[in-house]
A = this chain, B = another copy of it.
Amino acid sequence: MKNSLISVLKHIGLVGGVHDFTPISSRMLADELGISQQSASKKILELLEDELITRRLGARRQFIKITDKGLNFLRSEYSDYQRLFELADYLTIRGVVTSGLGEGKYYVTQKGYMDQFMDKLWFKPYEGTLNIKISGRDLNKLSLIKNLDGIPIDGFEDHGRTFGKGKCFLCDIQGVECAIMDPNRTHYEKVIEIISKHYLRNKLKLKDGDVVEVRIAL
């Protein structure tokens, strides 16, 4: 299907051709698209040829209607854009649920962090983290996260022990609100740690090896 025909078909749809035979003269179409009457006429013939529109040709004017084939074509274009903006507005990382070493739990439960979570994320995390191991293509998205700003979590000292700074991203797993806690320590980590006010393994019935999608709002 020729590229220039897509926009003509879209235009016909926008002026009413999705429903019913709509009066569309080649002159009108030409003016609206900024092309010549001759070219508009040609485009209409091409669309007819491809069976993307049908037409009732009267003495004075023609009536055009988009066919099911044409509408399907437009729907597939539409779904491309839906996918694209799902990509643009959210970042979805797929990974596998794994068991950590309890390290996450140790950090998350530190008062110095906990207070910041409540303050900045507006929820009190369950005292543990869900570890998700990322692999393959999604590793690129992980490195993308490393470069995004997110919600900064400050480092602090407690009883002479130093706790490093990090950052968080609000996200959801299967619609359940949560956040990625990304410590600044390493850039080569292939595991992300999720905190949530829920115990996610119970709430979402997750066990090691399950594949989950983490969707981050940008």
Contact = CB atoms under 8 A, between A and B. Distances in A.
Interface string A1-35: 00110110010011110111011000000000000
A84 B74 contact: yes
B78 A74 contact: no
Interface in A56-89: 71, 74-75, 77-78, 80-85, 87-88
A13 B78 contact: no
A23 B80 contact: no
A101 interface: no
A65 to B, nearest CB: 11
B83 A18 contact: no
Interface residues of A, number: 33
B20 A87 contact: no
B88 A77 contact: no
A72 to B, nearest CB: 11
Interface stretch (A106-114, A137-145, A174-182): A137-145
Chain copies in complex: 2
A14 B78 contact: no
A211 interface: no
A91 interface: yes
| Chain A interface, DSSP helix/strand/loop, else mixed | helix
A51 B7 CA distance: 21
21 contacts: A3-B3, A3-B4, A3-B6, A3-B7, A6-B6, A6-B7, A10-B80, A10-B84, A13-B87, A14-B83, A14-B84, A14-B87, A16-B137, A16-B140, A18-B84, A19-B87, A22-B140, A75-B85, A77-B81, A78-B84, A78-B85
Given A4-B4, A77-B81, 9 more contacts: A6-B7, A14-B87, A16-B87, A18-B87, A18-B88, A19-B91, A19-B218, A20-B141, A23-B140
When A and B form their complex, which 6 residue pairs have the shortest distance between CB atoms, in order from nearest?
A: A78-B81, A18-B88, A3-B4, A13-B84, A20-B144, A3-B3
Interface of A: 3-4, 6-7, 10, 13-16, 18-20, 22-23, 71, 74-75, 77-78, 80-85, 87-88, 91, 137, 140-141, 144, 218
